[in-house]
Structure 1
Amino acid sequence: MLRYSSMLLVTMATTAMAGQTLVESRELTPPGWKQTGHPAADKLIKFSIGIQPEDHELLERTLYEISDPSHANYGRHLSRDAANALLNPSQVATESVKRWLSDTGIPEHDVRDDGQWMHIRTTIGQAEGLLSTRFSVFARDGESVVRTREYSVPEEVSDHITTIQPTTLFPSLKKSRSRNIKRSVQDLEKKEVREKKSVSYGNPINLEQCKTELTPACLRKLYKMPANNYPEAHRRALYAIAGFSQQAAQYDQLEEFLRRFAPDQQGTEFSVSLVNGGQNPQGEYPSGEANLNIQYAVALADQVPIRFISVGGEDHDFNTDLDLYDSTEAWIEPFLDLTTYLVNLEDKKLPQTISISYGVNEQHLPKNHAKQICNMFGQLGARGVSVIVAAGNLGPGVSCQSNDGTNTTKFLPSFPASCPYVTSVGGTEGNSPEVASYMSSGGFSEYWPRPSWQDSTVSSYLRKYGDKWKGYYNPKGRAHPDVAALASGYQIMNHDIQETTGGTSAASPVFGAMIALINNERLKKGKPPMGFLNPWIYQVGSSGFTDITEGKSVGCQGTSIWGLPSPVVPNAGWDAVKGWDPVTGWGTPLFDRLRRLAI
């Protein structure tokens, strides 16, 4: 998990020519794309205009009210249309943009108003006049697209427009290309192949053996999660696992995993949704991450249907740094394709819980792009979806250097863990005692301010411990992770071999399985699902976690993920302390307590 990236796209606010404002531009064409010519002026083109919301705080305000257990609106989740309306523009903005389109010759029947977006159908010639630009044809691997490197709009509409696409953004790759990255994050996770027999489901649990060979039975024992003690699935119950990177979840490996480690779940399968050219081929394909996520989701989320959402594509548009230095070799997962798919699902088809075991350095994503993805997570929360994400496996950061041209030495928060509308899961290891994992990512966002639901908790932490790494982090930022779970020693089946793996990419689906069970039970009792969890966790649910007070994360050791020299910060890392901390959050779950508190 955690391939870092973002976009080379530059958003501007400077005057391009008299009466025109440059909205977006890019200096370079993404790797692999070559300009081959210009499209005919009468060629048809479709594009969408993003319009600024009327009230930028309406989404957050509404989400927090729905998610605050002390508020009268708690649990009153919204429909798809109502959630989309939270980001609708003002009538003034909409009319201004429509007038601009009309004045430049775009007929009304070629404009579809969708609230946040206005969808246009026109010709290349009209589009070039509309956007004060020149389109070109770009080709790569047999695929061709029409794009431009910059575009402008009149000053009178520039404040209303967030983006116009597809213009400067190029498609992600639909097929995986060979990569030669120095170190992937999965390489940072402990992983070893084992053929020997592991902790058996039916035998008494040996907690000492669980330290190195973690199984569903170990997790049930440690986290007070008894088996065969849950109601049948509600007709709407669904737990989704996000898949990227051409990872395939293999049916035969799940079958063998359940036979070895969760025989009461034998015969349980999962469904698959394919997004943006995603696939789920069986056989000799990359599958370790997908198998890990699916096997523990199925084994632990008794009765709840599991769906694997395979999202295709590789995004090579990002701001490079020392961790991902070459955009021709490195890439990130197309999160926007996932969130766009989810927010457009009908209410009856929406999962109540989703786990995402992938992430990037926050600084790799342009702020506007990250906020667009995060806002969609907020819309999902407002509709009753609990979004669970892995915190990451890079401690306080690996390269620990900014990519804004100043080369500032600093800790690096991760995304989407830093989004204030998701629940971020850090990592631990061992038992008796359980301690913070050295790899568990955490810290403080530089894109989002600290949200109200964690203000008291984090302020208290900073008063006691905030001076230790002063200057390396943003003390006013959204703090993460929120919770944690074990992140080492996981036994999985992969290509007919029993392997040991780990990382917060394992912790996330485990915690997600617990929330999926709680959501299902609430639905069976006629209650709404938990939805966005964090206000509840910080107000009520924190007593349902074991506080982790030993161990620390490790980072900033002088070598980036790419293998390049990087700044050294001696002894850099966040300590696990009493109460909330930026390595394990509130600690690890005690399912029986969480269940009582939530149901």
Structure 2
Amino acid sequence: MYLFSCLFLFILSASSLAAPSHHFIRHEKRESIPQKLIKRGNAPRDIRLPVRISLKQQNLHLGHDHLMDISDPKSPNFGKHWTTKEVEDFFAVPQESVESVLAWLKSSGVSQTRYRVSRGGGSIQLHATVSEAEELLKTKYYTYEHVDTGDLSYSCDEYSLHNSIAQHVDFVTPTTGFAFSSNKGKLRKRKQSEWSKPQIKPYTGSLLVLDELGSCDLALTPACIKALYNIPNATLAQDTNELGIFEEGDRYDQADLDSFFTHFASNIPTGTHPILNSIDGGKAPVEMNDAGDESILDFQLAFPIVYPQKIKLFQTNDDFVAQNRTLELGSFDTFLDAVDGSFCTYGGGDNRTLDAQYPYKEPDDSGYDWFNMCGTYKPTNVISLSYGIAERVYSPFYTQRQCHEYLKLGLQGISIFFSSGDFGVAASCGIVGCLDFLPNYTPGFPASCPYVTAVGATQISKGARVTDPEVAAAELGYSSGGGFSNVFARPSYQDDAVLSYFGENTPSIRPPATLYNATGRGFPDVSANGLNVMTIYKGKPYLNGGTSASAPIVASIVNLINEHRIKASKRPIGFLNPIIYQHPEVFNDITSGYNLEWPLKPAFYTAKGWDPVTGLGTPNFPKLYELLMGLP
């Protein structure tokens, strides 16, 4: 049963400070609540909570070094990717952890009939009343109300774990997060403002007289993109190298794809479409009136670069789930379930106060009436995801757990590309508002995870030619997302680049040091054009953009190079970052522009080399091709 529809988890601090009892250790504490929530009083004592105790996986502290060992081009083990089973076995939850928590439950008076251990022993679930949960976790639950919807949530400010199990537990839910009911099951369409991308706008010119290469500053077409980055026409279609694109709550329609191919990519036959990998009831295509501009943007950018190669669409979640919760919250876990069985089978899997739970059947048959998919699909070699949310929306436990899943995919040779966000240094905080107690900048996640390649945005200046240098994307209400993580430390592969940014440039190009964490993971890693992108949407030409455009461009380029590596009997390139930070010369350095401190004040400025606006720059296809093809 799907228990909650709009699910939210906010920044927490983990510590081992003095606990309520000398036998307990404080595990998580929330410092504040979001702007749109009100604490109404104590939670009803007899409310039943779906408690899940997520257990820690083993060897996570070794994962980084193993990933660097196979991803660093200087390593003798470069390209020796792990199998899925090797990943599962290496990180599996120790049986000792399962037994320790079960022994604690028994000693606490919880009957064996009231709990169950998940497949693989990654978590332990039980239903407990509020009063029982308060006793088990030495906490107090309160009722919270959403000021806009009136929906209620039951949450605690902090909780503690018995010292016999604290070292075995990742986190417990529901606790310091916020889970809201679905307003009596009625569908609530997501508002456009929840999308972390600029508003699309109609194109008022005539497509019949559009001078594509002469008007790239006004309307970025496939021909413009290929000219910008010297991308050749694709000719290969290796059977094992489809490009992967993730979508949720936004579906494409075939009519708009066909119209776009006719006008801007005539080499692609009408009827060409992505291969649907439906995850937990995800549907596509849809009728034109129900289509979303995000999916349209992704496919109308990617197909002209990779065709005749195919594209696989990872479409997640049924209509009810997709329309009844904030776009970004918990979006990626059902996807990770479906492509990485270790995520749902072993420790640290789904979080019930964030992630969709199935089977869930609506009276109108809109629900997905089956169990969550677990390891159903083989991940593609390259996956583009144009979604994200503020890093502080999640618990550090949650972000770290999910980030480790991208590390595991990297170990298997999968390249993951995330858009860096479209709010400069102030990532989107979803429909409940940001926490207002933190005075510093808000990095975006998962772009801030050091095991993904984060993609920022550039633009062609008005009046400039396609051969002129690009600048950082910035216009009213939109700029390339970038900055420094408040959760993840700076990885070693980018030490030289980031330290050069601080050491070789005057402080005037960056904001006061109190506003950001200079020792955190810097992002984005690279960039591509993300403004005035020509699309056909609902039968009409529109200009779209954002880093949602940039990510599929870079992912498509890497996928195209993988085509040639596979033809040459080489493996896919895998995790890209350790390679490109050693070879910044294969990118077009962006040295003009800045991103915004919401909404109009400049924050970070671009600089020679890496910067937290456009990363290393935009890809120069011939140079990147030569580099990656020269690796074993």
Name the TM-score class by shorter chain.
0.7 to 0.9
Q: 1:100 to 1:108 in 2, by over 3 A?
A: farther
Match of 2:287 in 1: 282
- Match 1:78 to one of 75, 82, 106: 82
What residue is the counterpart of 2:596 in the other structure?
554
CA distance in 2, matches of 1:145, 1:86: 41
Structure 1 counterpart of 2:617, one-letter code? G
The match for 2:23 is 19
8 Å contact 1:5–1:331 — kept in the other structure? Answer: no
Hey, what does 2:554 align to over in structure 1? 511
Pick from 168, 174, 188 the counterpart of residue 177 of structure 1.
188
- Which residue number corresponds to residue 231 of structure 2? 225
Deviations 1:350-406 (A, max 9, x none): 111111112222222222222122111111111111111111222233899x96664
Unaligned regions of 5+ residues in structure 2, if any? 1-5, 342-373, 461-465
Q: Distance in 2 between matches of 1:549 and 1:425?
A: 16
Structure 1 pair 482/313, CA: closer, same or farther in 2 (3 Å)? farther
SS of 1:550 mapped into structure 2:
coil
Structure 1 residues 398 and 535: alpha-carbon distance in aligned structure 2, compared to 1, 3 A threshold: closer
- Partner of residue 411, structure 2: 382
Summarize the alignment of residues 533-552 of structure 1 with structure 2, pairs less than 5 Å apart: 533-540=576-583, 542-552=584-594
Match of 2:72 in 1: 68
Equivalences for residues 146-185 of structure 1 within 5 A: 153-165=161-173, 170=179, 177-178=188-189, 185=196
The answer to whether 1:339 aligns with 2:381 is: no
Does structure 2 retain, via aligned residues, the 8 Å contact 1:80–1:347? Answer: no
**Which residue of 2 is the match for residue 196 of structure 1?**
206
* Contact 1:37/1:136, CA 8 A, preserved across alignment: no
Aligned partners of 1:477 and 1:314: how far apart in 2?
37
The aligned residue for residue 561 of structure 1 is none
Q: Partner of 1:260 in structure 2?
A: 263
Q: Does 1:437 align with 2:441?
A: no
Q: Deviations over 1:149-185 (max 9, x none)?
A: 5865422112221123467763786985246687864
Report how far residue 487 of structure 1 moved: 1.0
Aligned residue in 1 for 2:355: none
CA distance in structure 1 between the partners assigned to 2:587 and 2:120 by the alignment:
41
Alpha-carbon separation, structure 2, partners of 1:582 and 1:478: 10
1:502 to 534, 537, 545: 545
Q: What pairs with 1:455-534 in structure 2 (closer than 5 Å)?
A: 455-465=495-505, 467-468=507-508, 469=510, 470-471=512-513, 472-534=515-577
Aligned mates of 1:499, 1:22 — CA distance in 2? 52
Match of 1:581 in 2: 611
C-alpha displacement of 1:496: 0.6
- Does the CA contact (< 8 Å) of 1:11 and 1:23 recur in 2? yes
Matching of residues 324-473 of structure 1 within 5 Å: 332-337=328-333, 338-344=335-341, 346=375, 349-397=378-426, 406-408=437-439, 410-430=440-460, 431=466, 432-438=468-474, 439-465=479-505, 467-468=507-508, 469=510, 470-471=512-513, 472-473=515-516
Partners of 1:124 and 1:135 within 8 A in 2: no
User: Which residue of structure 1 lines up, in the alignment, with residue 625 of structure 2?
Assistant: 595
Cα shift readout 1:484-528 (whole Å, capped 9, x = no counterpart): 111112111111111111111111111111111122332333322
Task: Describe the superposition over 1:422-461 as per-residue Cα deviations: whole angstroms up to 9, x where unpaired.
Answer: 1111111113122221211211111111110010111111
Contact map agreement 1:445 1:478 (CA 8 A) in 2: yes
- In the superposition, the TM-score normalised over structure 1's length comes to 0.80
Q: Would you say the 8 A contact 2:29–2:159 is kept in 1?
A: yes
Output the CA distance in 1 between the equivalents of 2:87 and 2:325. Answer: 38
| Partner-residue secondary structure (3-state), 1:208 | coil
Separation in structure 2 between the aligned mates of residue 285 and residue 457 of structure 1, nearest angstrom: 44
Deviations 1:184-235 (A, max 9, x none): 643x3563344621687xxxx75331121111122112211121x432222x
Letter in 2 for 1:162: D
Residue identity in the other structure for 2:338: Y
- Superimposed CA distance per residue, residues 291-323 of structure 1 (whole angstroms, 9 cap, x where no aligned partner): 00112112211232212222338999xxxxxxx
The aligned counterpart of 1:215 is 221
Instruction: Verify the 8 A CA contact 1:550 1:577 in the aligned structure 2.
Output: yes
Is the 1:198–1:213 contact (alpha carbons within 8 Å) kept by the matching residues of 2? no
Q: Which moved more, 1:390-399 or 1:31-40?
A: 31-40
Q: 1:94 to 1:594 in 2, by over 3 A?
A: same
Helix, strand or coil: the match of 2:597? coil
The match for 2:347 is none
CA separation in 1, counterparts of 2:93 and 2:297? Answer: 42
* Equivalent AA in structure 1 for residue 415 of structure 2: S
Aligned 8 A contact 2:37 2:145 in 1: no
SS state of the match for residue 83, structure 1?
Answer: helix
User: TM-score, structure 2 length as denominator?
Assistant: 0.76
Percent of aligned pairs with the same amino acid: 28
Residues 87 and 116 of structure 1 are in contact (CA less than 8 Å); yes or no, is this contact kept in structure 2? no
Conserved in 2, the CA contact under 8 Å of 1:315 and 1:332? no
What do residues 536-567 of structure 1 show as CA deviations (whole Å, max 9, x unaligned)?
A: 11123x22211222222233447xxxxxxxxx
Return the match for 1:294 from 266, 291, 299: 299
CA contact (8 A) 1:5 1:361 kept: no
How far apart are residue 482 of structure 1 and its match? 0.9
Aligned length: 556
> C-alpha distance in 2, partners of 1:182/1:232?
38
